[in-house]
Structure 1
């Protein structure tokens, strides 16, 4: 089964809840997993950047992955995020992470180093060889400082075995259309921009790996499914009700926005690890007001 079949629809880049003492809050994580699955999402992505992975230790990451498998209990697929800007270390992390129950590995483009397109290609070529599961590329130049061009994505998709898809978050519709036009049939292309997801689905994307679906799982996943069914009148109605939420989620930083939403819903503590801090009081009041509508 290709990733285009198994990961079609809404994936959630799930947050990592923390207690007020800064430890991973596994009880809250279980509640969040159940909340997300109950409200109709198609799969969960653990250890994405929304999960504050740069601030997690290796042992915490392994514990979170195993806990997620246990609590998901095969109800939906699980994708594991493993990335970084040291290619050989990322390959070692992939080899040492428990991936037997994973459907795929999501790996962000190297950050800070600003590699050339050839460097990006060779980076993912090494990861694909090291991984026992298909690699989903993750292009997010707003965080990494380097865009992976459509030509590089397509080269990886066509030439490198075990490259199964891409989460595209370059905020560039033309680049998306170029990839969709020339991708191989097996290659999954999903949005990484919640606010652009609906028009990108209209262009032919297979789904979304979403931040908003942490806190708005039913409405967001309904919007995605309706879009995939081609009913864009209904999809637009649903999407219009979430436009304000998209703004609030990313107005200061991610995951401060989504953690504020989840805290207001009573699912987690509003705690982040430095250098991330909670939303300002002014924005937090807007989050409360949105949820009361």
Structure 2
């Protein structure tokens, strides 16, 4: 589980002008992470726009990342949904050979009860031997995973090893750290509070901004894990404004605008998402110039 301590990044899926997957840009993106201190890569998470990728697109993305990574960093694959049987079937039929863990989002839209969430992840855990990272993101699912359910799942299933906690509530995060087993990882899914969560005993972050500023952000988290709060907060305040900027008009439009500024990929997204406005692109460009 130590391979998921530190900074993971939820990779974008780069697109060409015609909205096809840009595999050359994906190669640049993966190498940029590896060369700048990122600890592991998350493939086809929300930031990767899987909702608008075809089955063929997803296979191409996975194949390219596996090829470019070449075993250098651990890989986490996003497999989740609000149809439990479909998620179970996907876990059983997907080739997971090259992936070290699964990131599985709490069921969205249906708004299940806490017991429904528990039973969903019970079925997920029993469908695979791979380590599972729970993903709590109420802003997208309209349903919060309680501390009690996360603690119960952590205790009941050996392969449920972590939670990506993205409610943005430092109190809930601290209670998860307090009430889960010592070897269970509480990983921030909110870039702005990733450092205080880490300093409170968390295991780092699965980040969006991290792929745009991998060196600074991973260094910040490393300082946090070492308990070096002063050094860590210097880096936090250096990059904090960029976090607000990249989420100002939704994810991943903002981070793609930043990556375009850096020459890594175009800022194209697929409908119903739209590119960042010219005003926001200018603000992001100005931030990178100042940095």
Runs of 4+ residues over 3 Å off in structure 1: none
Name the residue aligned to 1:226.
223
TM-score, length-scaled by structure 1: 0.97
Instruction: Choose which of 127, 139, 149 in structure 2 pairs with 1:130.
Output: 127
Counterpart Cα distance in 1 of 2:199 and 2:136: 20
Q: Secondary structure at the match of 2:130?
A: coil
CA contact (8 A) 2:138 2:144 kept: yes
Name the residue aligned to 1:146.
143
Counterpart Cα distance in 2 of 1:214 and 1:161: 30
Q: Secondary structure at the match of 1:243?
A: helix
Q: Secondary structure at the match of 1:254?
A: coil
Instruction: Choose which of 183, 188, 192 in structure 2 pairs with 1:191.
Output: 188
Residues 33-52 of structure 1 aligned to structure 2 (within 5 Å): 33-52=30-49
Q: Which ranges in structure 1 are unaligned for 5 or more consecutive residues?
A: none
CA contact (8 A) 2:9 2:40 kept: yes
Counterpart Cα distance in 1 of 2:60 and 2:95: 10
Task: Give the Å deviation of 1:160.
Answer: 2.2
CA contact (8 A) 1:46 1:79 kept: yes
Name the residue aligned to 1:82.
79
Deviations along 1:74-132, whole A, 9 cap, x unmatched? Answer: 11100000111111101111122221111100011111000000000000011111123
- Aligned residues, how many? 290
Name the residue aligned to 1:252.
249
Deviations along 1:218-271, whole A, 9 cap, x unmatched? Answer: 000000001101111010000001111010011110000000000111100110
Deviations along 1:37-56, whole A, 9 cap, x unmatched? Answer: 10010000000000001111
Q: Secondary structure at the match of 1:99?
A: coil
Residues 59-98 of structure 1 aligned to structure 2 (within 5 Å): 59-98=56-95
Counterpart Cα distance in 1 of 2:162 and 2:195: 19
Instruction: Choose which of 55, 58, 72 in structure 1 pairs with 2:52.
Output: 55
Corresponding position: 1:280 with 2:280: no
CA contact (8 A) 1:62 1:98 kept: no
Q: Secondary structure at the match of 1:242?
A: helix
TM-score, length-scaled by structure 2: 0.98
Q: Which ranges in structure 2 are unaligned for 5 or more consecutive residues?
A: none
Q: Secondary structure at the match of 2:206?
A: strand
